Amino acid sequence: MPVHGELGPHAGSTKTTHREVIPLKLSVCHEMFEGMEIERICDLVADIGYDGLEIAPFALHDDVREMPQADKERVRKALDDSGLDCAGLHWLLTKPEGLHIGDPDDALRRETADYLVTLAEFCALLGGRDMIFGSPKSRDVPEGGDRLGYWQRAQDTVRSAGERAHELGAVIAMEPLARSISNFLNHASEVRRFVGEIDHPGVRMMVDCYSMGDESSPRSQIIAESGDLILHVHANDTTMREPGTGDLDFSEVVAALKGIGYDGWVSLEVFEIDPDPETMARRGYELMAEEMRRQGVRG
């Protein structure tokens, strides 16, 4: 799978380079299909027209370290049989509970980094690369906490995990989260600095349409300024549902991605189900694919 804008010796750089336009790939996050067997999810998603499925490990097992190898291989087989690619993993540290990238406890941070590497191994088994780090409870700074200390410890944890993940072909993408979701790394500029100071190709960033709406800058500006640091994109509206249900201008997002030569995944991620997962997945695909075709970035 080609890597968009592989980082060189200056990972903090956001210089935009214009490339030949490559069709954008569409995927959907699998936890929205709660209670459905993985084979059925894959078949449904492929039938709608998506290119890939983004996996939430917590929806498969409470602890991937204890997940039977046969169950992991079952997920890979379901993807292969349906013709889908793995768009990566997200909600990395939802379970097991208690892991944290910035906690003062050295042993806990080591365990957290090691668990992220376990997830990288799973991601590689599935044929994926992108590991989306949102996980607000595993990054939040407690009230009264030393924010600089949490920043530095979080960088050390993510750097350790990212270096090892990269050897497996995976990349950790730090996600700027809206202030209503987390109190740490809320703005794209903060994440650019966080990633730039780590300065390793195993650590990048991603952007989320909902969370970008929490910033003062337009989404197009955030994307342009983040440039080649962007590994992955989550598509969702101001309603926390699929594009087309709120105030999101998805055409602005597509144009901005086209402008930076982005060639990665655009994954539908929803936080509220209304009316049902299949309807939302179909409506989201139709709107996104139509706009991408209109702008010449999807066949």
pLDDT in tens, 256-270: 999 999 999 999 999
Name all contacts of 119-122 with Cβ < 8 Å and 24+ positions apart.
119/57, 119/64, 119/89, 119/92, 120/161, 120/164, 120/165, 120/168, 120/170, 120/172, 121/168, 122/57, 122/64, 122/67, 122/72, 122/89
pLDDT averaged over the chain? Answer: 93
CATH fold group of domain 29-294: TIM Barrel (3.20.20)
Structure confidence at residue 20 (pLDDT): 54
- pTM confidence score: 0.92
pLDDT in tens, 6-30: 433 333 444 444 445 568 999 999 9
Q: How far apart are CA 209 and CA 291, in angstroms?
A: 15
Give residue limits of the domains in the chain.
Answer: 29-294
